[in-house]
Every structure is written in structure tokens, then in C-alpha cells.
Structure 1
Amino acid sequence: MSAIHQPTAETLPPRAFETRRLLTGAAQVTALIGALVLVAVLAPGLGDVRGLLADANLAWVAVAVGLQLLSCLSYVLMFRPIFCGARSWATAHRIGWSALGMGSIVPASGAAGLALGGWALVQDGMEPDRVARRSVAFFLIKGSVNFVAVAVLGTVMALGLVGPPVSLWLTALPAALALLAIGAVLLLPRLGEGAPPPATAGRARHAAALTRRSVVAGSREAVEIVRAGDPLVLAGAIGYWLFDNAVLWAAFHAFGAEVDITIILLGYLVGQLGGLLPIPGGIGGIDGGLIGMLIAFGAPAAATAAAVLTYRVILFWLPLIGGAVGFVALRRWLARPRRHAVAD
């Protein structure tokens, strides 16, 4: 067993995770989403979008919310075996939902959420090096599902086996880029972790060496985790991606538009790349990427704008609400004088 951490100043959240800062971030993202809604409601030339929003099928919106909940639960399902294998499901839910909520309000495509989860795990006794490796592995496994899907779908669509006829620039090219990305990740372990810098080296060099070691070791660990074939990891990774895609599919149905699922799946990748932009909550980056790609594939413009806006509102609020509950529970749990921390 690891040493039990007592609630001290060292166990308080880092400044980035302070309640006041999180509330500020949530307010900023809410304001950005509000601005998007106002544009849709007030801007000239968007009458069709306003009409669709006013006539939305609420039953399909409820389905979209349920699918997003399943996506969040899949995240926790994957989170537990990778980070909390020797800990309880309650612990996995506290930390996993907190990470999801953080990812809703801070840019960096979910990395901030993993940072929060890593901090909590270190307080509970996990070695920082292991947290760093597992964070890289989690991030790579979660993202690899989307890239594999794009590689497969892009290829079969380029061959004309499924989906509507689409330019090779929108099918074969994304498939090739996805394959290159997958190959690059598989080659990362060959880089080696490198020699540790001398003690006299500057802070930047030490940070670079630590990053390289974590990325290389984490990529190697990701491959090992996938090869182990843990059903919770595989089901969680696929479920997180699949149900999140399904939210967008249901949002289209809420506005009476039936868009081929292959278009939604490929357009999703561009949206996730847009989420890498340093914008609070990814607002604007994800939306612009999704709308542009879906319309390029032939989806109706007005329905696409309405569906993506609905998707973004659900994608923000559901993880945020669940994350807020999880974060409060996590703070109380970490403040307990005795916890049975276990080294995974």
C-alpha cells in the first residue's frame, strides 16, 4: 500500500483547478455558446436555421442527451482499468467525471481533464511517473479509435463501397492522413526515452526530457494495454467515440434531416482537430470544422448548423454538470483524513 496522504496545503488543487477559476472558465464558455445562439437567432440570412430550431423534435433531442450520457459513461468505463484498476468504481466515477467536466471548459482537447485526474491520483498515492505514462496512453487510445474509423471509412468510401459518391480529397486523403498518424504513434516507442539531462541543465531541458520520456513510455504502454484486450478499455474507447458521433446523428434527426452516417463519422474527425485550437471549450473550432466538413460532404446547410449547435450545447452542459458533481465529491473524498490508497 502507498502512504496515505493527509489533507494539507500540498493536496489542495493547483491554481488552474481552483473553484473560482473553474467558474470563470465555465462562464466564458457559456458566454461563447450564448453568442453562437444569438447569431443563429438574430443574424440576417439564417431564417432557415431559426425555423428549424423553433420546430425541433424534442424527443430526438432527448435521445441525443441520452446518447451523450452513454458517451460520458463510456469514458469512465475506459478510465477505470487504465487509471483506477485497484480502486473502486466510486473513485473512478469521481475522477473520471471531474476530468470530463474540466475538458468542457478548458482548451487542449481533454488534456486539462487528464491533468486534473492525474493530480487527484497522485494525491491518492499513485506514482507521478505512472500517472504521466497512463495519461499519454489514455489519450492515444481514446483518439486512436477515431483515426482507425476514418482510415477504414475513408478507404471504403473512396472505393465506392459505402456512402454517397464523394471526392477523393474528402475520403482518400483523410484516410491516408489517419494511417500516417497511426503509423507515427506506433513508431514513437522506437525513439527511445533518451538519456536524462545533467543536473546542471536548465528547467526547459529537464521539462523536454520529461515530456519525451512520458510520451515514449506512454505510447509503448498504450500498445501494451490494447494488446492485453481488456474489454472495459475496448468497450469504453469505442463507446465514447461511437455514442458521441450518435449524438450528432440524433441532432440531425431532431431537425428532420437524414444525413448518411459515413458523412457524420468523417466530419467528426475535422471537428475534433478544430478542438485542438486554444479556445475555451473548443467553441468555434469544433463547430466550424464540423459545419464546414459536413456541408462539403453534401449535408444540408441549415440543418447542419442547427444540428451542430444542438450537439455543442449538449456536449458542453452534460459533462459540465456531471463533472461539477464529481469534482465536489472528489474534493470531499481527498479531504478525508483516512483513505485506503492503493498503488495500481
Structure 2
Amino acid sequence: MAITFRGLVRRWGARTVWLAITAIGLYVVAPGLLTMFGAWPRLATVEPQWFVILAVLELLSFAALWWLTRIALAPSETAPHPRLGWGVAATGQLAGNAASKVIPGGAATGAVVQGKVLIAAGQPGGAVASGLTASNLLSSAVLLLLPVLTIPALIIGPPPADQLQLGLVVSLILAVVIVAVGFTALTWPRVVAAFGRGIGRVGQVFTAAITPQRVADGLLAERDRIAVAFTGRWWRAVVAAAANRMCDFAALVAALVAFGAHARPAEVLLAYVVAQTFAIIPITPGGVGLVDAGLTTLLVVIGVPADTALIGTLLYRLFSFWLPIPLGLFAWAGWRIAVPKAA
């Protein structure tokens, strides 16, 4: 059957657009990446224990995601299916994570790859789709909650800038607070509705398109999707989501402390949150370049010397972004080899 022009456009049009956007984005961020990689030799000055600390923190961050996936796909009486093993959960997340960083399309591409691995392991397609969606929503909610939790610390002032290492303690405290807030939101929807109406009233000042009830309804809808996916397992789900974000933030703190940086932990947390939002923008795969440049700039703004901000960001991104890519590719290759044997 002849292939029509319209068929070619439908098949390759969107891909061509994504590739063009990615190429332009990479061209724009290339100078910043070259500058950052130029600081690579300075990593040789880092004491070995910091490499171990960052590796452990990032491993815990990824393990929390594996745990969250297992919680979301746990079998129940109404939806019986094979229990998801740790190996499959890790393989799916690592492969999806690598795909989202090297293939245009970002998180959407990674979710497709992760879903394929989970479905091939015997998980129902519907459960995988709803479970991954709920997990992403919960993880995003935790990220958006962090700036709100830092407001009191920014107003009060302490801890001082020369005690950035306290950020490791701050991450533990925030994790406990996140769990409490998350469980409250999942248990009492009226709290979510009231919070949504409050945001709506503030937004209504800037545009009439935003109404308190509309914002409240939107938050309740997202809350319900998360609540249904994690019914009876809310505590564990929120703990896993909080652990994922806080271990990753602790890795950034450790990378800065390794080079003797001085900054207030609350301000570093705000820089971390803003930089993480850059990764959501699908201009470059995984936000490569955007996150690096954005995080470095934000750290300089809060008082970290430019050289320290640059090398600290490089060390943090080495463990949080670059090293997981080959791990994910190995996971994907191993899965592709094992699937035919299991069939």
C-alpha cells in the first residue's frame, strides 16, 4: 500500500518537531555544558569519602522510587496480579530514567519505556498506567510542597550560611513534615479543598480565569487519583516520595559541602526546587544543560562563589544525572536479553 504524504506527516511530523526543538536547545546550552565539563579535572581534588556519600544518597533516592512503584502496583483482592519484584522495579525505573535523558520527549518517553518493562513482567497494563501516573503526581506534589515548607526558615533566618552541612539534617526534618502533610491531604480532602480555595483567591487577584472553586476541584481531582492508587498504603507511599526528593537534595548539599561552600540550607533548597522544574521542560532531554546552568546560576545568586557553584553542580549532576544513564542502558539491555528467554 502506497504511503501518502499525510501519512508521512502523521508518522514523522511530531518526531521531527521534537528533534528540531532538542537540537536548538542543545545548541543554546552547549557553551554552558562545555564550561562545566571544563571543570572536570577539579573533581580529582575531592576527598574520596564524598564520592561514597553521594553514591549512597543517590542510590537511596532511586531505591525510594523503586519502592514507590512497588507500592503503586501492589496486588489487591479486587486487582490480583503478580507481585512486582525489586529487580523488575529497579530495571524499569533505571531504563525509563535513562530513556528520558537521552531521547527527546523527556518524562513521557521514560514512562513508556518503564511501562513496557513492567507489563512484560506480568503487570496489567491498566494498573501500570494508573500506578505510574499516581507515582509521578505524588512525586511532583512533594517537589511543589518544598518551597512552601522553606518559607518559615527564610523568614526566621537560621541556620547560618557557614553551616550548610545542617542541610543534611534539614532534609530529614523536611521528610518527616512532608509525610505528615501528605498523609493529612490523603486522609482529609477538606484540607485540600480549603488550601485550593486559598490559592484560588490569590490567583484571582491576577486573572479572573482562576476561581477558588476551580482550583479546589483541580487539586481534589489529583488528590483522588493518588488516593485511589495508594489505598491502604498512603503512609508508605508518602514516605517513599519524600525519601526520593530529600535524598537527592541531600546529595546536592553534600556536593557543595565537599568544596567548602557556605550558604543557608533553605536557600539551597529553593535553588534545588527551581532547578528541578527545568527538567520538566522538554526542550532538552532530561533538562540537560538547562538544569546545570540554572542550578549554577541560582547558587551564585544565593551567595555561593561562581567556581564553587560550578564544580559543586558538576559533582552533584555526575551522580544524579550522568552515572544513572549507563546504568539504565545496561538495565535495558539486560532486560531485552532476558525477555525472549522468559517467553
Shift of 1:328: 2.4
Partner of 1:76: 66
Aligned identity (percent) is 23
Pairing partner for 1:251 from 244, 255, 259? 255
Distance 1:71 1:128, change over 3 A: same
Specify which structure has the higher proportion of helix.
2
Deviations 1:121-180 (A, max 9, x none): 3344444443332222111111111211211112x0343254569xxxxxxxxxx99x95
Partner of 2:217: 187
Partner of 1:197: none
Indicate if the aligned counterparts of 2:73 and 2:128 stay in contact, CA closer than 8 A: yes
Give RMSD over aligned pairs.
3.7
Pairing partner for 1:103 from 91, 95, 100? 100
Pairing partner for 1:264 from 261, 268, 272? 268
| Larger RCO, structure (CA 8 Å, separation 6 or more) | 1
Deviations 1:80-139 (A, max 9, x none): 111355222232222222223223324555332222111233344444443332222111
The number of equivalent residue pairs is: 267
Shift of 1:41: 6.7
> What TM-score, normalized by structure 1, do the two folds share?
0.65
Specify the SS of the correspondent of 1:87: coil
Question: What letter matches 1:99 in structure 2?
Answer: G
Partner of 1:60: 50
Distance 1:32 1:118, change over 3 A: farther
Partner of 1:242: 246
Pairing partner for 2:299 from 289, 294, 298? 294
Indicate if the aligned counterparts of 1:61 and 1:254 stay in contact, CA closer than 8 A: no
Partner of 1:303: 308
1:280 aligns with 2:280: no
**Alpha-carbon distance in 2 for matches of 1:30, 1:157:** 36
Partner of 1:118: 115
In structure 1, runs of 5+ residues without a counterpart are 1-14, 16-28, 43-48, 166-175, 191-215, 339-344
Indicate if the aligned counterparts of 1:84 and 1:92 stay in contact, CA closer than 8 A: no
**Alpha-carbon distance in 2 for matches of 1:129, 1:55:** 50
Partner of 2:155: 159
Distance 1:272 1:108, change over 3 A: farther
**Alpha-carbon distance in 2 for matches of 1:256, 1:189:** 41
**Alpha-carbon distance in 2 for matches of 1:51, 1:333:** 39
Indicate if the aligned counterparts of 2:71 and 2:237 stay in contact, CA closer than 8 A: yes
Indicate if the aligned counterparts of 1:76 and 1:92 stay in contact, CA closer than 8 A: yes
Structure 1 residue ranges, 4+ long, deviating more than 6 angstroms after superposition? 29-35, 183-186
Shift of 1:54: 5.4
Indicate if the aligned counterparts of 1:252 and 1:259 stay in contact, CA closer than 8 A: no
Shift of 1:296: 2.0
**Alpha-carbon distance in 2 for matches of 1:282, 1:331:** 27
Shift of 1:322: 2.6
Shift of 1:254: 1.9
Distance 1:186 1:246, change over 3 A: farther
